[in-house]
Amino acid sequence: MATRRGVRYPAGADRKLLKTAHARTIKELETRFAAAHKTFLRDSEHKARALDKSMALLNVDRDQVKRAVGKQFASNFAYVRKTRRPPKRPLLRGHNPTRYAPYDFSWSGKNCGGIAICSTYGPNATNGEVGLDLGIYEAGGAAGGAYVGDWFFSQSEDTWSVSVQASVWGRALIEAAFGYASAYAGLQLFVREDSTDETFVITTDIYNNSADGFGFDLTNVDAYYSAQLYIPVHANTWYEVWGGAVQHAYAGGAIAGAACNFDMFIAPIVASGVVIF
């Protein structure tokens, strides 16, 4: 499922041109998201099936495993789920070429895979909030992305330093007993040139962990993260610069659980020319 909200266009710009280019950007985001989710789900299912074969080889009784650790795993999952974000920090404000909320556009997409806990923070172009809350106990896989962004215009041939920063709060849990669980959260910088459709992407890991067979991890995050690129730009060309959250979670096997709950506020988004000597 994908969601896109209203777009704010720069004053004096060719709105028809930007509207067409922006539609192509949304299509690119949707295609990338679908491909990433498919790959993540396929890899996770292969790992979970391999563990099932190992259980059969060892004559492990699935019900016995659940009786041994099921209540504790459920308690761990409930503990993570009931924790909520502390009071939010005041929104950062600033001036160009550093862009702060409100932003020009937003987009989100998610594939919940039938799991019960699968919701999105924003995306809110007004305050820059993005993120997802994913939770799986015993079986399922989900993924999502939520972004906000701004238009930038290059007046000349140059090399830009492009970056995004986010205030991130979150909790992640993976737990498995003769199972497989994984969770991932990242801050992604996505830049697209509207004339040639060339894209530049980089993602900073916030959480990336898995439990193969047996394992447990509970991680709390309350920090700032950033992602940065250097890109060549062309004269008289518009660029879309997006900052967003990308997240995945999966659980399968005898008994496993995964939670990936991250709430982020994008601020700022920066795209500025640098001198190359």
**What's the per-residue H, E or C state across 31-77?**
HHHHHHHHHHHHHHHHHHHHHHHHHHHCCCCHHHHHHHHHHHHHHHH
Contacts of 62 (CB under 8 A, 6+ apart): 55, 178, 254, 255
- Whether residue 110 is predicted with pLDDT greater than 70 in this model: the reply is yes
pLDDT of res. 277: 38
> pTM here?
0.88
**H-helix or E-strand spanning residue 22:** helix 15-57
Tell me the average pLDDT of the chain: 86
Instruction: Decide: residue 9, CB within 10 A, 0-12 exposed, 13-18 middle, 19+ buried.
Output: middle
pLDDT of res. 59: 67
pLDDT of res. 68: 73
Task: List b or e across 73-108, with b for residues whose CB sees 16 or more CB atoms inside 10 angstroms.
Answer: bbebbeebbeeeeeeeeeebeeeeebbbbebbbbbb
Measured CA to CA, the distance from residue 23 to residue 41 in angstroms comes to 27
Contacts of 213 (CB under 8 A, 6+ apart): 51, 54, 176, 178, 179, 180
Determine contact, residues 275/198, Cβ cutoff 8 Å: no
- Whether residue 57 is predicted with pLDDT greater than 90 in this model: the reply is no
If DSSP codes are grouped into helix, strand and coil, which group holds residue 25? helix
Measured CA to CA, the distance from residue 47 to residue 45 in angstroms comes to 5
pLDDT of res. 253: 78
pLDDT of res. 4: 56
Beta pairing partners, 246: 145, 186
- Maximum average pLDDT range among 63-77, 168-182, 263-277: 168-182
- Residue 241's nearest CA partner among 99, 35, 59 is 99
More confident residue, 201 or 88: 201
Express each pLDDT in 164-176 by its tens digit: 999 999 999 999 9
Instruction: Decide: residue 221, CB within 10 A, 0-12 exposed, 13-18 middle, 19+ buried.
Output: middle
- Whether residue 179 is predicted with pLDDT greater than 60 in this model: the reply is yes
If DSSP codes are grouped into helix, strand and coil, which group holds residue 10? coil
- Whether residue 82 is predicted with pLDDT greater than 90 in this model: the reply is no
If DSSP codes are grouped into helix, strand and coil, which group holds residue 212? strand
